[in-house]
Structure 1
Amino acid sequence: MKVVLPIFLAASIIAYAQDIHVRVDPAAPHADPGNENRTVFPTIQNALDHHPWPAAGSLGKDGSPARVYIEIEPGIYHERVIVTQNHPNITLIGKGKSPEDVVITNSLNARQAGGTFFTQTVEVNGDGFEADNLTFENSAGNTGQAVAIAVRSDRAIFKHCRFLGHQDTLFADYGRQYYIDSYIEGGVDFIFGNAAAVFDRSELHANGPGYLTAQSRTSADQSTGYVIINSNVTSSIDHTGGNAARTTTALGRPWRPYSRVVSIHTELPADLDPAGWNNWNNPANEKTAYYAEFGNKGPGANVLHRVPWSHPLTAEQANQFLPQNFLRGKDHWDPIQEAARLP
């Protein structure tokens, strides 16, 4: 017997599950304009430029707006990648066994590029961006500012990702961002910018003396800031020479006066500067920056010698910085639930 669906139901089914899946394989031929119906591309940027688009108003399998999934075969991709502002809901997925198997890399420092904000290997401007099982790298090393990725995306999620650099590795600058089960490495100010970002169950690794964060909130009424929670701060700083101040890392310093960083239930290393935080040689910042801790552990967690202008939190105060609260927003975004949908 032939079943005839009501028109409204048939239309809803057509609009449903319209996610687009394409693949990046270096062996594929390059796609030029007019090849937009291709599903295999040789580079990540080529896939971003020429992938098919979901139908207008279509929904993905979870009922949210349809996504473009770019599945990347294992390899080292020597390219610079830009996700434009008019390109939302992009998901990059590394198809290797671990994040080390898919590496997006470039080597460019501020001196070469003409400024910090021209150095990034990857730049993300479209909202709703996701990445899973990838490495983002700027291989310029200890040569000054050299950004691995600049993220200006609201509701961005990074899961099982690595971020490799030295100074200014991760520019987390705009929107709400959630980093889960990831690894971030650098030496000086290696997480910086003015996003509302949570780093959950992640490792922040200092490969040289300096500061983990340089958050740049510009006024007290901004909802931005960095939260490091359930994470692990590690270090490979060389302690064989120089004075003690130059062989430690600190939790943060204020790039802008109202900088806000909170560390919760995080393992802190022995070579963390006992002061914890720094005023960036400006005592006025001590009146406006907000640096706080709750329930940290490890040899660097003793707060007795912290700067007097930092804040020990109560459990109730720390609750507002949990990812589901701090990143909730007016649209009631649940970053934990969204991240769980990724592989």
Structure 2
Amino acid sequence: MKTCFLPFIVVFFSLQNFAAQTPEKDWSKIAFTKDENLLKSADAVRIAENILLYQKSNGGWGKNVAVQKQLSADEKKKIEAAKGDLKVTTIDNKATVQELTFLANVYRFHKKDEYRDALLRGLGFLLEAQYESGGWPQFYPVQNNYSSHITFNDDAIARVLIFFKKIIDEGAAFPVEIPSQTLAEINTSFQKGIDIILKTQYRQNGKLTVWGAQHDEYNLLPTKARAYELPSLTAKESATLVLLLMSLEKPSKNVISSVEKAVKWFEQNQLKGYKEIEISGDKKLIADAAAPPMWGRFYDLETNQIFVSGRDGEKKKSYDEIEAERRNGYAWYTYEPAKVLKKYDVWKKKHVKIIPDKAQYIVSKDGSADFESIQDAVDQLKSFPDQRITLFIKNGKYEEKVNIHQWNTNIKIIGEDREKTIITFNDSFADIDKGRNSTFFTPTLSIEANDIILENLTVENVAGGVGQAVALSIISNRVAVINCKILGNQDTLYLGNEGKIYIKDSYIEGTTDYIFGGATAYVENCILHSKKNSYITAPSTLAGSEFGFVFNGCRLTAAENVTKVYLGRPWRNFAKSVFLNSELSTSIAPEGWHNWNKPESEQQAFFAEFNNTGEGADKDSRVKWSNQLSKRQAKKYTKQNVLKTNINTNWYENL
């Protein structure tokens, strides 16, 4: 008898000891126990009976309830009377999941129908509470406050999905037999949950990072909860989400990409050389070169700067700036991402395909090729290759910002079909909000590397008529754009720096200054389409540059009712823009050119034409300070003269 009774006594006193501490926290310790002696005990049955008592009529449970406590008869009556109080049912602070976990584990040893039925009602609660998008609110039924947001905070959604995954993975080995219909619903719910994790992963300038603590249930962006829980990126909850994604046996390419991008963010945003200590009950962050890396709880959405905040809801840089109650009453730093980094190498070897060096790679959105994302392909290409590398982009709409880095030289990016291979994004000056230079952060496609060829592609910025919004930015040398469509509104095409750029057989559209910058460019046999009365070019040619923008054999068209389009105006005083052998529609203003209300530029800018045709080519009405070239003068504007460089005179031939 002693041998059989002793484990129960040990467990009983252990539970009493828990109850004497912080009851609701200690319940969480008991809820997930795998101790068979405890689960077999009579006290476990008593706790399970309490769980049934606390379960609300909708199948869920409230949070921060010390379920393991001994209950008096009066307490039981009050709990029973409150079963219809559905304002408290939640997945926050482990609620509902921990009760279901304990019930399942107890059922393994105590096969009571009421335990099974309570568990199935609890699963029904979780399934019903899920949004169609795949996320869960913090409380259900949904309340009219921040708890309605998709809640990753404190791992609320992650715990639900981990529990569902346990049911799916264990199958018949799960302690409670799950009806086939319910099991099918759990499978669907789990997949929707994974999908919402992928959809809410925050894009910073088009690049995947990590997640917020909570996301708006409609636009899916990080959003605010309590006053000190501001829209942000969170390292702690993001680490749990990544570990969940890494636990998938057969991850999709999107899951693999999500994990890789999050890991990269964790690596780049470690806080090194500091540790958190407590002195007389007050938290301090002190320097310690030997301390392991840690991460902030919250990061700014655009700068990745760690911040803390008090009940005033203002971002602060240090503990000293917030009240002691918030400083010590919240977990502002975490080591959780270290668990991800520790497991990543093994996971990567198992799931990440190593792309060997080769001369051509294929990008396809359907997952059938080397890469699904253009940026992913670019990021993995060999730096400064000796031989040209070709990226063949299969038809599809690639909604991403793409940056051809300075070290990604000697690449040809060719689309399957100009009309069907589309790179698109929607950043604009106001969206970027980086001050006066915001324009230069808006491009859909940025080329910073030398010796790049674009062919058979559409590149567009779909921000609309909201101000500066660049589709294609080229700030490098020896770049060719062939048979492409460059679509946008204001500032569609930026040709910056002092490089040489060749654009051929392409369509370029916009509203204001839609071809602008300081580069030397030869634009041949292209259609320039003006969408409103404004300016086509805005060159900022450097003083001393022999050529600016040269257009040869182009056709200038316009939208209906557009009647006054200027060929150009000087962004900088030494601007140069020349149109040769081109067809100008009636939309071209008789004056031809505009001085941008800078009379001094009339003496320094060089705007000229030669042998243009069409109703918009009326030489007699042009502003007096523009130029009409003679045949002898026009001979200077050959492709070879304009595009030759010291390194490669005929780089533009045989592309």
TM-score normalized with structure 1 length: 0.82
Aligned match of 1:242: none
Q: Residue by residue, what CA displacement relative to the aligned partner does 1:137-166 show, whole Å, maximum 9, x if unpaired?
A: 001111100000110121100100000000
Partners of 1:110 and 1:216 lie apart in 2 by 19
- Equivalences for 1:232-311 in 2 at 5 Å? 232-239=555-562, 247-311=563-627
Partner amino acid, structure 2, of 1:153: S
- Check the 8 A contact 2:383/2:407 in 1, yes or no: no
- Check the 8 A contact 1:323/1:335 in 2, yes or no: no
Partner amino acid, structure 2, of 1:47: A
The 3 A distance-change label for structure 1 pair 236 and 218 is same
Partners of 2:399 and 2:559 lie apart in 1 by 26
Shift of 1:113: 0.8
The 3 A distance-change label for structure 1 pair 237 and 211 is farther
Shift of 1:324: 1.4
Aligned match of 1:200: 524
Partners of 1:52 and 1:118 lie apart in 2 by 25
1:147 aligns with 2:147: no
Shift of 1:328: 1.2
Q: Which residue, 350, 357, 365 being the options, matches 1:26? A: 365
Partner amino acid, structure 2, of 1:189: D
Partners of 2:472 and 2:652 lie apart in 1 by 22
Shift of 1:237: 4.5
SS at match of 1:100: coil
Shift of 1:298: 0.4
SS at match of 2:531: strand
1:164 aligns with 2:503: no
Aligned match of 2:450: 127
Q: Residue by residue, what CA displacement relative to the aligned partner does 1:91-118 show, whole Å, maximum 9, x if unpaired?
A: 100012xx11100000111011121111
Shift of 1:90: 1.2
- Check the 8 A contact 2:480/2:652 in 1, yes or no: no
Q: Which residue, 106, 109, 125 being the options, matches 2:425? A: 106
Partners of 1:224 and 1:105 lie apart in 2 by 31
- Check the 8 A contact 2:462/2:488 in 1, yes or no: yes
Instruction: Name whichever structure is richer in strand by fraction.
Output: 1
Aligned match of 2:397: 76
1:183 aligns with 2:502: no
Note the residue ranges of structure 1 that are not aligned, 5 or more in a row. Answer: 1-17, 30-38, 57-64, 240-246
Q: Residue by residue, what CA displacement relative to the aligned partner does 1:205-240 show, whole Å, maximum 9, x if unpaired?
A: 001111110000131x1234000101100000435x
Aligned match of 1:44: 374
The 3 A distance-change label for structure 1 pair 272 and 40 is same
- Check the 8 A contact 1:88/1:127 in 2, yes or no: yes
Percent identity over paired residues: 36
Superposition RMSD in Å: 1.7
- Check the 8 A contact 1:324/1:335 in 2, yes or no: no
- Check the 8 A contact 1:204/1:232 in 2, yes or no: yes
Note the residue ranges of structure 2 that are not aligned, 5 or more in a row. Answer: 1-356
Shift of 1:331: 3.2
Aligned match of 1:95: 416
SS at match of 1:188: coil
Shift of 1:319: 1.6
Structure with the bigger RCO (C-alpha within 8 Å, sep 6+) is 1
- Check the 8 A contact 1:237/1:248 in 2, yes or no: no
Partners of 1:82 and 1:72 lie apart in 2 by 15
Q: How many residue pairs align between the two structures?
A: 294
SS at match of 2:634: helix
- Check the 8 A contact 2:478/2:652 in 1, yes or no: no
- Check the 8 A contact 2:556/2:582 in 1, yes or no: yes
- Equivalences for 1:210-249 in 2 at 5 Å? 210-219=534-543, 221-239=544-562, 247-249=563-565
Partners of 2:483 and 2:600 lie apart in 1 by 38
Partners of 1:305 and 1:272 lie apart in 2 by 11
1:117 aligns with 2:448: no
Instruction: Name whichever structure is richer in helix by fraction.
Output: 2
Shift of 1:51: 3.2
Aligned match of 2:637: 321
Q: Residue by residue, what CA displacement relative to the aligned partner does 1:241-279 show, whole Å, maximum 9, x if unpaired?
A: xxxxxx411100000000000000000011201000000
Which range moves more in the overlay, 18-27 or 156-165?
18-27
- Check the 8 A contact 1:121/1:137 in 2, yes or no: yes
SS at match of 2:412: strand
